[in-house]
C-alpha cells in the first residue's frame, strides 16, 4: 500500500488533468467567425431593405414597418436569400455554444465537487499529522502550499462553471 | 407586420450577449490554465517534500 500523502497528491493531479478548458478558450474564436458571417448576411439584408423602402417611399406607396413596406422587402429574392443564410448560420451559432460547451461544463462541474472533497480530506490529514512531521521542516509548508493552490484552482473552476452556465441558459 | 430593422437589431444584440459571455468564459478558462500550472508545481514540490515522512 502506498503512502497516504502520495495518494492524495496523485488524486489531485488526476482530477486536475480531467479539467479540459480548451473548448472554452477556442469557443470565442469560432463563435466570432460564425457571427461575422451572420453580420455579412445582415448587411445585405439592410442594404436591400434601404433600397426597396427608398423606392417605395419615393413612389409614395409604403412606409417601413407601418404600412407593410417591410413585408414587401421580405419578398425580395436577394433579401430572402440573405435572410435564409443568416437564419441557418444563427442556428449554427446557438447550437455550437450548446453542443461544444455543455459537455465541457458538465465535466468541470463534476470535477469541482471531487476536488473539493479531496482538498478537505488532504487538509484534515495534514492537520492531524503535522506534529509527527515536525522533523521534516519542508513537509508541512509544502503540503499546505499544495492545498492552497488546489483551493485557488477549484475557485477558478467554479468561476468558469458559473460563467459558462450563462451560455447554456 | 414585420419591422426588419428592429428584428436585425434584436438578433445582433442577442448575438453580442452570447459573444460577451463566451469572452468571459475564455478569460475564466485562461485563469484555470494558469492556476492549473501553479497547482501542478505545488503538488510536485509537496510530493518531494513529503518523501521524508512515513505517512
- Write the DSSP symbol of residue A20: -
ipTM value for the complex: 0.88
CB A73 within 8 A of CB A53: yes
H-run or E-run covering B9: helix B4-49
- Cβ-Cβ pairs closer than 8 A, A with B, add up to 173
- Among A142, A150, A156, beta carbon nearest to B50: A142
The nearest CA of chain B is from the CA of A165 a distance in Å of: 9
Global pTM reads 0.83
- Among B26, B50, B53, beta carbon nearest to A25: B26
pLDDT band at A130 (very low <50, low <70, confident <90, very high): confident
Euclidean distance between CA atoms A72 and A62, whole angstroms: 9
The nearest CA of chain B is from the CA of A120 a distance in Å of: 15
Judged by CB atoms closer than 8 Å, whether chains meet at A65 and B1 is answered as yes
Q: Is the pLDDT of residue A110 over 70?
A: yes
- Percent of chain A past pLDDT 70, that is, above it, reads 88
Judged by CB atoms closer than 8 Å, whether chains meet at B35 and A156 is answered as yes
The 10s digit of each residue's pLDDT in A54-90 is 776 655 554 544 445 788 899 999 999 999 999 999 9
Cβ within 8 Å of residue A15, ≥6 positions away: A111, A114, A115, A118
CB A108 within 8 A of CB B33: no
Cα angle value A64/A77/A93 (rounded, 5°): 85
Euclidean distance between CA atoms B30 and A49, whole angstroms: 42
Euclidean distance between CA atoms A143 and B29, whole angstroms: 26
pLDDT at A67: 47
Q: What is the average pLDDT score of chain B?
A: 93
Task: Give CA A46 to chain center in angstroms.
Answer: 30
Residues of B whose CB is below 8 A from A132? 53, 55
Amino acid at each position: 500500500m502506498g503512502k497516504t500523502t502520495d495518494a492524495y497528491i496523485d488524486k489531485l493531479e488526476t482530477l486536475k488533468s480531467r479539467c479540459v478548458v480548451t473548448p472554452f478558450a477556442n469557443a470565442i474564436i469560432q463563435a466570432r467567425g460564425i457571427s461575422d458571417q451572420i453580420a455579412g448576411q445582415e448587411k445585405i439584408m439592410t442594404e436591400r431593405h434601404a433600397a426597396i423602402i427608398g423606392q417605395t417611399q419615393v413612389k409614395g406607396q409604403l412606409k417601413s414597418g407601418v404600412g407593410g413596406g417591410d413585408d414587401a422587402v421580405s419578398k425580395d429574392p436577394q433579401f430572402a436569400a440573405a435572410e435564409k443564410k443568416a437564419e441557418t448560420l444563427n442556428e449554427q451559432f446557438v447550437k455550437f455554444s450548446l453542443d461544444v460547451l455543455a459537455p465541457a461544463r458538465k465535466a468541470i462541474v463534476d470535477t469541482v465537487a471531487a476536488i473539493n472533497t479531496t482538498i478537505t480530506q488532504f487538509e484534515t490529514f495534514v492537520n492531524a499529522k503535522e506534529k509527527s512531521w515536525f522533523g521534516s521542516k519542508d513537509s508541512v509548508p509544502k503540503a499546505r502550499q499544495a492545498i492552497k493552490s488546489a483551493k485557488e484552482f477549484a475557485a477558478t473552476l467554479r468561476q468558469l462553471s458559473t460563467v459558462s452556465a450563462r451560455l447554456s441558459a | 407586420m414585420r419591422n426588419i430593422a428592429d428584428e436585425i437589431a434584436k438578433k445582433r444584440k442577442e448575438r453580442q450577449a452570447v459573444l460577451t459571455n463566451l469572452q468571459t468564459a475564455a478569460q475564466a478558462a485562461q485563469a484555470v490554465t494558469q492556476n492549473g500550472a501553479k497547482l501542478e508545481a505545488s503538488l510536485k514540490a509537496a510530493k518531494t517534500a513529503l518523501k521524508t515522512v512515513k505517512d
